[in-house]
Amino acid sequence: MIKVENLTKRYGDHVALDGVTFTVKEGHIYGLLGPNGAGKSTTMNLITGYIVPTAGSVTVDGFNMGKDPMKAKKSIGYLPEIPPLYPDMTVKEYLSFVADLKKVPKSEKQLELDRVMGLTHITDMQKRLIKHLSKGYKQRVGIAQALLGSPKVIILDEPTVGLDPEQIIEIRDLIKSLKGRHTVILSSHILSEISAVCEEVLMIAKGKVVAMDTTENILKMSKTGQKLNVILKGAADKIEETLKGLAFVKDFEKLSEDGEKCTYEITATEEKEDIREELSFALSDARILIIEMKSSLASLEDIYLEIIQDTKASSGVSFVESETKEETIVTETDEESEAAESESENEDNKEEA
């Protein structure tokens, strides 16, 4: 459905994207991840034809974006991070305007408007001026315009920004419902959102693709080794002495102690894929009873942060990160968007000249 080959984009001396190549399969939902300045926004802008590449090509539904831009763009519905709304129009007027731009047949127009307003739950707001809507409803209108005309490819940049928890769940369910009927590329800084919605993940760092696989396989990429949560019956000093003597145990931490029961988090050495059997035998030999043992896979946040650390170590670049209690969120810089806006203005000036 989407084929990206040797895609490169430079802004002066800054290389935003460096020879990126990947293929997006039809009907799948992809998550686009990367640290600040990695090239995510540039990648989305190039795929949609908003900016032109320095080198390389993008093909959408068989049409080359450089040679047949109108045909390629016809297959794309795009929601930028800032929805392209006209505040002095009503919701219905705006969507009607977008439908005309997308050349939706007049005989199908009303049905199409009703369809996208129903999907995004904005039917009750259709007569309201957009400037009087909450940020959450403006985001919904932005998603609705992307869905107009049922394009084969839907590209969503931060689609749940500004929504309350209930609305976020609704939008995530909506995105998941697009599977099979549309190819979806979703960029989000809420990593749990990628885990919840996307089947496959594309990670970009330093302008290059560093990982592209199913979400399930990405979660197996951790370099920290298998982690186990175990509840053991026995004296803490005896348990810890036993664990220290096991070559396949990289580290352990006592999480709690309640009488004769102790709870530990045990991390295996990297070369060991599964230590449960060996650990069971070793603890049994030491006469330590295992009450409970659970294996915990690395989260998408773990994998993502490992890649960031690797990127920092190799480039010396400093990335801005912030942690919330439940979710990891990576703050976005404006470097790429400012560069894109500057290029767009230059191109407009050339056309006017």
For the domain that residue 272 is a member of, what is the CATH number? 3.30.70.3190
Q: Is 25 part of any domain?
A: yes
Phi-psi region of 61 (alpha: psi -120 to 50; beta: other; left: phi over 0): left
Residue 327 is assigned to a structural domain of this protein: yes
Indicate whether 307 belongs to any domain: no
Sheet bearing 249-258, strands edge to edge: 249-258, 261-268, 227-233, 289-296
Whether 141 is covered by a domain: the verdict is no
Q: Give the β-pairing of 153-157 and 183-187.
A: parallel
- Asked whether residue 109 is assigned to any structural domain, the reply reads no
- CB count within 10 Å of CB 244 equals 9
Higher pLDDT, 316 or 241: 241
Q: What is the pLDDT of residues 300-333, one digit of tens each?
A: 667 777 766 665 566 554 433 333 333 433 444 4
Report how many domains make up the chain: 2
Rg of the chain, C-alpha, whole Å:
25
* Tokens describing residue 280: 């069971």
Domain residue limits at 266: 227-296
DSSP 110: H
- Asked if 37 contacts 317 with a C-beta cutoff of 8 angstroms, the reply is yes
Within this chain, do residues 200 and 260 fall inside the same structural domain, yes or no? no
Q: Which of 296, 324, 340 is the last residue of a domain?
A: 296
CA distances (Å), origin 105, targets 91, 97, 101, 109, 330: 19, 13, 11, 6, 42
Residues 155 and 214 in one domain: yes
pLDDT, one tens digit per residue, over 260-314 is 899 999 988 877 778 999 999 999 999 999 999 987 656 666 777 776 666 556 6
Percent of the chain with pLDDT over 70: 82
Same domain, 261 and 166: no
pLDDT at res. 297: 58
**231 and 216 within one domain:** no
The answer on 71 and 168 residing in a single domain is yes
- On whether both 50 and 164 belong to a single domain, the answer is yes
